[in-house]
Amino acid sequence: MEAKAEAKPSTADTLSAIADREGFLATSDPALQESADRGEAKLLDYRQLYELWERQQWATQDLDFSQDRVDWHERIDPEERFARMYGLSAFFIGEQKVADELGPIMRAAPTEEQRIFLSTQIADEARHVAFFDRFYREVGVLEGADGLAERLAATEEHVNDAFHQLFDDLLKTRVDHLAANPDDTGALVETITLYHMIIEGVLALTGQHFIIDYNTEQGTLPGFVEGFQKVARDEHRHIAFGVRFLTDMAHQDPAHLEAIQRMLAESIPIADKVLDPPWVQGDEDWEIFGQSKEETHAFAAQCLSRRLKVIGLAA
Ligand SMILES: [Fe+2]
Ligand SMILES: [Fe+2]
């Protein structure tokens, strides 16, 4: 057990390897910049983030899932298929929920440049839903479920209670408030902290990284891996926007730093539980996609700490 842990690269080395992937470092997400451990990072501005979006387009229709279909039904045994359903379902439903909630956040952003970037993000999140829907449909992950709504309903049983608490309670309450009060900048700062720093930064990218790595090592689901890399690159760009926005807001009014801290304190304990697979009881250890609970949490923590240092918060 210890020998295996020693043989693994450190989180910092893993992040450097991710930064080497095509177009990832270009997003300016501080988690991929070593200097962010000292609170220094090169951040793109809103117009540059928009222009990067134009250059980083991709189409779900270009992906070929034929080998994935063979792998899913013939090379992955039923027990492993069930374990994998947790990760896949959390992403499929999560993408649908974030796509649906982003409209009021976009409208509440104070500048036109910010709203233009967030509009591109709405298109990205819709594409991420389409990516999962196409994968489920072409691979035949849920036999008997026809149509997007049916597939989403059928996949819902695989996510845990903390997942619902984070999305349906914490996020939805904030977004409903912003829809009615688009001028409440403090609420917008809290919502972007929850959406971009916790849901995308801590949860989505951690799961994405380990699922991509695991499938690459196992030589499984090549079409999925190709598309999921594109999804991950989009998420780094979204998070880079979040860091830029929160940094700018903190400079404008240091009181916003308290709003960021308040939201982190409220959401991190729930996010930690979302990372636990639903079959785990209490604080027991687990391993999924070849990673232990400790390694998974260490990865999420270092990404968050680099981003917070750049925003001006000691993690
Ligand atoms: Fe997404
Ligand atoms: Fe995103």
CATH code at 20? 1.10.620.20
Q: Ligand 2 center to residue 99 CA distance, Å?
A: 8
27 alpha carbon, closest ligand: 2
At position 198, the amino acid (one-letter code) is I
pLDDT at 84: 86
Biggest CA pair distance of the chain: 57
Q: Are 197 and 304 in contact (CB under 8 A)?
A: yes
pLDDT at 244: 98
pLDDT at 3: 44
Look at residue 251 and tell me if it is in a domain.
Answer: yes
Q: Ligand 1 center to residue 23 CA distance, Å?
A: 17
Residue 188, C-beta contacts closer than 8 angstroms, at least 6 positions apart = 105, 108, 109, 110, 178
Q: How confident is the model at residue 240 (pLDDT cuts 50, 70, 90)?
A: very high
Look at residue 4 and tell me if it is in a domain.
Answer: no
* DSSP H or E segment with residue 291: strand 291-292
Look at residue 127 and tell me if it is in a domain.
Answer: yes
Look at residue 292 and tell me if it is in a domain.
Answer: yes
**CB neighbours (10 Å) of residue 112?**
9
At position 231, the amino acid (one-letter code) is V
Look at residue 231 and tell me if it is in a domain.
Answer: yes
Q: Which of 79 and 190 is assigned the larger pLDDT?
A: 190
Q: Give yes or no for residue 315 having a pLDDT over 80.
A: no
User: What does the alpha-carbon distance between residue 129 and residue 98 come to, in Å, rounded to a whole number?
Assistant: 10
pLDDT at 249: 97
Q: Give the pLDDT mean for 43-71.
A: 98
Picking from 134, 112, 168, 124, the residue whose alpha carbon sits closest to that of residue 63 is: 134
Neighbours of ion ligand 1 (CB under 5 A): 95, 125, 128
Look at residue 36 and tell me if it is in a domain.
Answer: no
Residue 141 belongs to domain spanning: 9-31+41-311
Q: Give yes or no for residue 1 having a pLDDT over 50.
A: no
Q: Ligand 2 center to residue 125 CA distance, Å?
A: 6
Q: Are 234 and 56 in contact (CB under 8 A)?
A: yes
pLDDT at 85: 83
Tell me the percentage of the chain whose pLDDT exceeds 70. Answer: 96
Look at residue 102 and tell me if it is in a domain.
Answer: yes
Q: What is the pLDDT of residues 134-191, one digit of tens each?
A: 999 999 988 778 888 888 888 888 888 899 999 999 999 999 999 999 999 999 999 9
Encoded tokens for 97: 């929920």
Q: Give yes or no for residue 128 having a pLDDT over 50.
A: yes
Encoded tokens for 2: 């210890």
Q: Ligand 1 center to residue 200 CA distance, Å?
A: 7
91 alpha carbon, closest ligand: 1
Q: How confident is the model at residue 7 (pLDDT cuts 50, 70, 90)?
A: low
Q: Ligand 1 center to residue 109 CA distance, Å?
A: 19
Q: Ligand 2 center to residue 118 CA distance, Å?
A: 10
Q: Are 37 and 13 in contact (CB under 8 A)?
A: no
Q: Ligand 2 center to residue 230 CA distance, Å?
A: 11
Q: What is the pLDDT of residues 256-267, one digit of tens each?
A: 999 999 999 999
pLDDT at 218: 92
Look at residue 136 and tell me if it is in a domain.
Answer: yes
Q: Which of 8 and 160 is assigned the larger pLDDT?
A: 160
Q: Give yes or no for residue 103 having a pLDDT over 70.
A: yes
Indicate whether this model's pTM tops 0.85. yes
Neighbours of ion ligand 2 (CB under 5 A): 200, 235, 238
227 alpha carbon, closest ligand: 1
If one counts the domains in the chain, the total is: 1
Mean pLDDT value across the chain: 91
Helices (H), the chain: 2-7, 11-19, 46-55, 66-70, 78-108, 112-139, 148-155, 161-164, 172-180, 185-192, 205-218, 222-252, 255-274, 293-311
Q: Ligand 2 center to residue 199 CA distance, Å?
A: 9
Q: Are 311 and 247 in contact (CB under 8 A)?
A: yes
Q: Give the pLDDT mean for 12-23.
A: 90
